[in-house]
Amino acid sequence: MDLQVVEQVARLDEWVAEGGVAVLSGAGLSTDSGIPDYRGPSGSARRTQPMTYQTFTGDPIARRRYWARSHLGWRTIGAARPNDGHRAVARLQEQGLLAGVVTQNVDGLHQAAGARDVIELHGNLARVVCLGCGELSGRAELEDRLTAANPGFAAVATTVNPDGDVELDDAEVAGFTVVDCLSCGGLLKPDVVYFGETVPPDRVSRAFGLVASARTLLVLGSSLTVMSGRRFVLRAARDGIRVAIVNRGVTRGEPYADLVVDAPLGIVLPHLAKPIPVPEPGTH
């Protein structure tokens, strides 16, 4: 790290040591786990449009295309493991320095690293919901069913997006078989918020409450391009709560931030979450 970043991290270290930190994380936190982000240095330009709720429910062909692509993408998302950044956040929580964690990610890696009571703004790809009866089930079960229903499906994913979608030509998804709810025959959907859906109000309310109770809002790996995450930065700035951002590249939260650190999260976060010293036997 250059001298400016070292000084910035030292300042951030002081803020974190005071406790009461609310974490807001984005896709940039998961890039070291092999999940590309949308807009950061490891991201790639997305050619396909994100799936909308209206298209998913109203267009059987688009729904088939989505499930074929997502079936491949899950191999990357489901196999991903927490990185040093996720583990550092969990350690900060264990040390009692966090007010809580809000994530825009749908990969479940905060929890896999040991974080508790994570507010998942956009849901979690590891869960599947039936739009007919509301039953929740595990993604692993659905993947087994999709594999059994599509024994000849041999497409290979090239680009995987943070939402588990991949890039595939239409010819490669022709004939893909979609499965429905075992309980009622209804449409199955990943338990995530699509474009065109709104984040459940109670989830948003909990996140705003967390920010309101914090001394510092610490944004990790988010460009804050969409209002879903940026609104918490705006609220913190309005209420006089310190805003610190650690991200690679420009973010739309910079005008509202008290501190912006442009550096790899996998280096900055472990520095903040230093191990708690263990007293030597016989010392007090």
Binding-site residue positions for Zn(2+)? 130, 133, 181, 184
Give dist(CA 34, CA 86) in Å, integer: 13
Give the number of other CB atoms < 10 A from CB of residue 199. Answer: 16
Known catalytic membership, residue 122? yes
110, 122, 271, 284: which one is catalytic?
122
Give dist(CA 56, CA 41) in Å, integer: 30
Q: Where are the alpha helices (DSSP H) in the chain?
A: 3-17, 53-58, 60-77, 84-94, 109-112, 139-149, 170-173, 201-212, 227-238, 265-272
Annotated binding site for NAD(+): 26-46, 104-107, 221-223, 247-249, 265
How many residues does this entry show for the chain? 284
Which pair of tokens denotes residue 35?
């999940």
Positions marked catalytic: 122
